[in-house]
């Protein structure tokens, strides 16, 4: 186990450096220049452009800039945003809890609905419910998030007025952040109705962000279950006279979970990508919206810092998923 962990960590280091090179160089390949964008339509004189570039260290050879950046990252300094002039890490830490809270809710939503739907479809293979579930999953998977989000807002917030339009909590409630997680902070605030308001604000974004993972998990669960259900030991279990619930729920599902857990792990990356659009629609103050704004401003430190931290998180999640395999299937022991 320990050797496995060490081995995985040894792979993570070059991966991390690779990601840092890609993050650093790719954004510089984009046309456009953050210094010129500082002044908008107003033209900046070449002297002034050179002066500001020098101030930001952008006039140095790219290798030197990269090494300097890497050295900073190793010391925990991800640089300062060109547009807001604030440290990248501080901004990330302030915004990340919002993204994490939304992503966790979305993944829970996707798992709670996706796995039973997949199992049910597998048991009823070929039937109308199976086709209905898989058809819906296909639609969910193909849905443009932006359109889906606006549709839900117009229906549930505009016409029916069941949910608020956007934001994390009603503006009536005002308390300083303690954990950054609105559900927890609203409980801590002790203000009446705050928690309920936070929950109601989470509903639509959770559905929108969870839709694609839900579809993927349902489809993956179905195909994994179909494979397992045709195994000999399942037939043996049935022949033994075990209840259908035990056969499916205990024997089959457990073995079908390995590919499903892998899928869930991979959905974390999808989720962070989806958060970009979901956060923009719902004015959710997370890292997705922050990164998009920064791409438009060519805010190099934010884009490269943000990418690097997100990549680091995804790598850690994948490592956790690998470790989880062992718990689910004792034959895979590291």
Partner 1 sequence: MFKKSTFAAALLAATVISGVASAKTFIYCSEASPEGFDPGLYTAGTTFDASAHPVYSRLLEFKKGTTETEPALAESYEVSDDGLQYTFKLRPGVKFQTTDFFTPTRDLNADDVIFSFERQWKEDNAWNKYVEGASWEYFAGMGMPDLLQSIEKVDDLTVKFTLKQKSAPFIANIAMPFASILSKEYADKLQADGKMSQINQQPVGTGPFTFVGYQQDAVIRYKKNPDYWGEAPKIDDLVFAITTDASVRFQKLKAGECHLMPYPNAADVEAIKADPNLKVMEQEGLNVAYLAYNTTQAPFDKVEVRKALNMAINKQAIVDAVFQGAATVAKNPIPPTMWSYNDAIEDDKYDPEAAKAALEAAGVKDLSMKVWAMPVARPYMLNARRAAELIQADFEKIGVKVEIVSYEWAEYLDKSKAKDRDGAVMLGWTGDNGDPDNFLDTLLGCDAVGGNNRAQWCDKEFDELVTKAQEETDVAERTKLYEQAQVVFKREAPWATIDHSLSIVPMRKNVEGFVQSPLGDFTFDTVDITE
Full 3-state SS string of 144-182: CHHHHHHHHHHHHHHHCCCCCCCCCCCCCCCCCCCCCCH
When asked if residue 47 is in the footprint of partner 1 (CB under 8 A), the reply is no
Nearer of residues 91 and 255 to partner 1, judged by Cβ:
91
Q: Which of 12, 37, 70, 100 binds partner 1 (CB under 8 A)?
A: 37
Q: Which of 55, 127, 243, 244 binds partner 1 (CB under 8 A)?
A: 55
DSSP string, 244-274: HHHIIIIIIHHHHHHHHHHHHHHHHHHHHHH
Nearer of residues 38 and 321 to partner 1, judged by Cβ:
38
Angle subtended at Cα 217 by Cα 212 and Cα 218, rounded to the nearest 5 degrees: 100
Q: Which of 11, 48, 116, 132 binds partner 1 (CB under 8 A)?
A: 48
Q: Which stretch binds partner 1 (CB under 8 A): 109-117, 146-154, 251-259, 311-319?
A: 146-154
Please, how many CA atoms are within 13 Å of residue 298, restricted to the half-sphere of its CB? Answer: 17
Residues touching partner 1: how many (CB under 8 A)? 62
Least CB distance to partner 1 at residue 66 (A): 18
When asked if residue 75 is in the footprint of partner 1 (CB under 8 A), the reply is no
When asked if residue 78 is in the footprint of partner 1 (CB under 8 A), the reply is no
Least CB distance to partner 1 at residue 282 (A): 7
CA distance linking residue 103 with residue 109, whole number of Å: 10
Per DSSP, the chain holds a count of helices (H) and strands (E) of 14, 0
CA distance linking residue 87 with residue 225, whole number of Å: 48
CA distance linking residue 145 with residue 143, whole number of Å: 6
* Interacting residues with partner 1 (CB under 8 A): 30-33, 36-45, 48, 52, 55-56, 80, 82-86, 91, 94-95, 98, 150, 153-154, 157-158, 161, 164-168, 171-178, 185, 188-191, 280-283, 285-286, 289-290, 293, 298
């Amino acid at each position: 186990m320990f050797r496995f962990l060490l081995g995985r960590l040894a792979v993570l280091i070059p991966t991390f450096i690779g990601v840092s090179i890609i993050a650093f160089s790719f954004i510089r390949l984009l046309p456009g220049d953050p210094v010129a964008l500082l002044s908008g339509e107003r033209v900046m004189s070449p002297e002034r452009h050179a002066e500001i570039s020098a101030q930001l260290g952008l006039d140095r050879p790219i290798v030197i800039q990269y090494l300097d950046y890497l050295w900073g990252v190793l010391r925990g300094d991800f640089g300062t945003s060109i547009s807001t002039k604030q440290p990248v890490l501080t901004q990330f830490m302030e915004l990340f809890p919002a993204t994490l809270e939304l992503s966790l809710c979305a993944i829970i939503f996707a798992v709670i609905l996706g796995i039973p739907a997949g199992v049910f479809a597998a048991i009823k293979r070929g039937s109308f419910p199976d086709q209905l579930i898989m058809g819906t999953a296909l639609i969910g998977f193909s849905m443009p998030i932006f359109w889906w989000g606006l549709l839900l807002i117009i229906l549930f917030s505009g016409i029916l007025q069941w949910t608020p339009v956007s934001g994390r909590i009603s503006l009536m409630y005002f308390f300083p952040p303690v954990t950054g997680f609105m559900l927890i902070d609203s409980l801590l605030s002790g203000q009446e109705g705050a928690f309920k308001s936070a929950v109601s604000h989470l509903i639509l974004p959770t559905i929108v962000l969870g839709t694609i993972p839900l579809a993927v998990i349902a489809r993956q669960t179905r195909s994994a279950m179909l494979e397992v259900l045709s195994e000999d030991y399942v037939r043996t279990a049935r022949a033994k006279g075990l209840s259908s619930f035990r056969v499916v729920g205990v024997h089959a599902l457990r073995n079908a979970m390995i590919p499903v857990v892998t899928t869930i792990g991979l959905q974390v990356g999808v989720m962070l990508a989806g958060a970009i659009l979901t956060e923009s629609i719902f004015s959710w103050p997370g890292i997705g919206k922050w990164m998009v704004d920064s791409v438009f401003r060519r805010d190099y430190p934010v884009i490269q810092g943000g990418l690097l931290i997100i990549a680091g998180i995804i790598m850690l999640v994948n490592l956790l998923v690998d470790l989880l395999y062992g718990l689910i299937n004792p034959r895979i022991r590291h």
